[in-house]
A and B are shown apart, each in its own frame.
Chain A
Amino acid sequence: MRNLLPIVTVVAAIFVLWYAAAVALNAPWANDKAQRAGTDLSFSELVADTWSQDKPKLPAPHQVGAELWKTTGAMVAKGRAFSKRSLIYHSWVTFSATALGFVLGTALGIALAVGIVYNRTMDMSVMPWVIASQTIPILAIAPMIIVVLNAIGISGLLPKAMISMYLSFFPVVVGMVKGLRSPSAMQLDQMRTWNASSAQTFWALRLPSSMPYLFTSLKVAMAASLVGAIVGELPTGAVAGLGARLLAGSYYGQTIQIWSALIMAATLAALLVAVIGVIQRITLKRMGMAE
């Protein structure tokens, strides 16, 4: 908790800067409007105006907050939490693609890592490509995957989940290969002296040793998976999901809507990563690998 005060200070500073930037960025429009109306704005009027425009260049935090409340809490209060105008609904759409892609990507990543660790041929042929593929902007193919899968009759959740899977499996492969190889030569020799089979070595030594690595890469994979789902919603003319809200907002210049979708996406990312963090802490603590 030693860090609490500094963190609060930094966050407060961000808000102050945000408000100041809102004044600076929105002032030209406010002055313009005033000039056309033939009035002069005093400083306090200017500030008040810049913080309450309809389509500001940069909405003030409280405007975004109000929009967020209107599309989440208020909708819940009215019992319409899953109506099309509710951000909870859009978050749910994005979340389901994220989660599905994450699960698929993790499974694929672990399977590939086991293959790479246990098969020399696979290690030498696949591993360089896995590393090389991390340097390639995979997201560029996102629109194509969606269109291609649509053309063969797969639409909805799965194409987005495929992109999420594609993005999330790389960190898992890399982390798990490292993790499964983390037992020391001594520990592996120990297994040899007991004449343990490869399966026994895997379950008793390699898999438990890889847990810290797995969780670290799961956090990265989850964040990547969410990015994948959001980008997957961009090019398709999708109507639901946080990515679709971003795109719609940018078409119609609804900056407040963009920002609220953005904050929602950030909250979702933070929540998902935090959930993995909690599972990590509990698991590692029970395994005696963390205090």
Chain B
Amino acid sequence: MATDTIISAKDLSLTFQTNDGPVHALKDVNLDVHKGDFVSFIGPSGCGKTTFLRCMADLEHPTAGSISVNGMSAEEARRQRAYGYVFQAAGLYPWRTIGGNIRLPLEIMGYSKSDQDERVNRVLELVDLAGFEKKFPWQLSGGMQQRASIARALAFDADILLMDEPFGALDEIVRDHLNEQLLHLWDRTNKTICFVTHSIPEAVYLSTKIVVMSPRPGRITDVIDSPLPRERPLDIRDTPEFLDIAHRVRDGLRAGHGDEM
């Protein structure tokens, strides 16, 4: 299985020096993510799930251990534009149209004009925003903006999608809808997705692998492989299998909390 390991962390630690002494954001984290996986990271705030994602993206530098992305260092992977990153807020530029926003990374990476047009059209289609190319972000709802920001991360065809609580700021109904769409997209494109969330149903619904983390120090307490099929209608959330996994996740989270008491 070593050949299709996309992301591999070995004894990864990251310590921030603060005025109140060192904070162990991550301690001895080991994890392999395989090609085509949909991995969710779940845990209470301060458990290091976002920090871990940022280490994969070379936005944070581990103080010990190693992390490889696509078989190279995180920095090399970033330089080769190996992943698309979706932040918690859409972060679209108000002075660019939706099309212009999606075009931005393509311009930066030096794609030709015709290639840009073609890609913008394709990813807009992919996230169901065809026809909104000329609109400005502030003319769209929050859910549509977040879809545009996913399209922006998809535009340059990176194999990996890193998503940091992308739907955290949206309401439940929009969130369900986007979750469903995200699964479709994952199914069609066969990308590897790492997804940070603090919602148990979201993690269970989306993932093939759920990584439960706990704080002080930030570490992995459980890794759950989901037996759910790839095809997942929304009502799968009422099946006993689903509830079973959700239970395991909840127990994992509680156990993580237990040690500090």
Contacts and interface: CB of A to CB of B under 8 A. Distances in A.
Contacts of B78: 192-193, 195
Interface size bracket, A side: 10 to 19
Interface stretch (B7-15, B85-93, B118-126): B85-93
B95 A208 contact: yes
Interface in A194-249: 194-196, 200, 204-205, 208, 211
B127 interface: no
Given A192-B78, A193-B83, A288 B138 contact: yes
A186 B94 contact: no
Contacts of A205: 93
A187 B83 CA distance: 16
Nearest to A187: B91
Contacts of B57: 189, 192-193
Contact of B108 (A189, A196, A208, A288): A196
Given A192-B78, A194-B108, A184 B91 contact: yes
Interface string A172-192: 000000000000101101111
A266 interface: no
A195 B85 CA distance: 12
A250 to B, nearest CB: 49
Interface residues of B, number: 28
A289 to B, nearest CB: 5
A205 B138 CA distance: 17
Contact of B94 (A191, A195, A287): A287
B94 A194 contact: no
B83 A194 contact: no
Interface in B87-108: 87-89, 91, 93-96, 104-105, 107-108
Contacts of A287: 94-95
B94 A289 contact: yes
B234 interface: no
Contacts of A184: 91
Given A189-B57, A192-B59, 20 more contacts: A186-B87, A186-B88, A186-B89, A186-B91, A189-B87, A190-B91, A193-B57, A193-B59, A193-B78, A193-B85, A194-B156, A195-B78, A195-B79, A195-B108, A196-B108, A204-B104, A204-B108, A287-B95, A288-B94, A289-B94
10 contacts: A184-B91, A189-B59, A190-B87, A192-B58, A194-B109, A196-B108, A200-B108, A208-B93, A287-B95, A288-B95
Interface of B: 54, 57-59, 78-81, 83-85, 87-89, 91, 93-96, 104-105, 107-109, 136-138, 156
Closest 10 CB pairs of A and B: A287-B95, A193-B85, A194-B105, A196-B108, A288-B94, A288-B136, A200-B108, A186-B87, A288-B95, A194-B108
